[in-house]
Amino acid sequence: MSEPLDPLAEILSSIRGSGRRVTEAKRRLAEVLVATTGHRTADELTTAVQVLSPEVSTSTVYRLLDEFEELGVVVHSHLGHAAAVYHLTGTVHGHLVCQRCEATVEIPAAHFDALSRELVTTYGFMLDRHHVAISGTCARCRESVAVTEHA
C-alpha cells in the first residue's frame, strides 16, 4: 500500500520520525547527499550546501552530519590519512586504500564474513566492516614497483 519513498523523502521522514524539525540547512544537506555519489569529506559537503544556501555555516553542516549519523542516515569512513568521508547509509561495503597512490576500491562486505565470524568466536570482537579502510598497495602500484625493481 505504501509506495517506496525516494531517498530524499526517506531522509526527511527519518528526521521527522525522530521528533526533530526539518530546517532549511537539513534539507539542503539531505539534497546534497542524495545528489552526490561516492565519498565526500565534510568540507566538500559544506561547500556544496553553501552553493545552494550560502547562509548555512560550516559548523552547522558539521553538527548536522553528526546528527544525520545518529539517525543512521549517513556513515563515515576513514580512507587513509585524509579527512573522514561520508556517504548515505545503504549497502555496507569495505574499502581498500592504496598507501602509495591513495586509490580507493570498494569491495563487497561479504569478503569479511569469514574473518568476522572468527573474530567474534575467538575474541568476542565485532568487526565493523565499513568504518576504517584496509591499507595496502594496489595492483597498479605493485606493478610499477616490480618494473622499477627489474629496471
Using CB under 5 A as the binding rule, whether residue 138 contacts Zn ion is answered as yes
E strand or H helix at 41, and its extent? strand 40-41
Distances (CA, A) of 133 to 42, 78, 95: 18, 6, 5
Please, what is the minimum distance in Å from the beta carbon of residue 79 to Zn ion? 8
Contact letters for Zn ion, residues 74-113 (x by CB under 5 A): ------------------------x-xx-x----------
Between 5 and 44, how does the x/- string for binding to Zn ion read (CB under 5 A)? Answer: ----------------------------------------
Distances (CA, A) of 115 to 31, 125, 127: 36, 11, 8
Nearest to 130 by CA among 98, 82, 90: 90
Of 35 and 51, CB closest to Zn ion: 35
Point out which residues bind Zn ion (CB under 5 A). Answer: 98, 100-101, 103, 138, 141
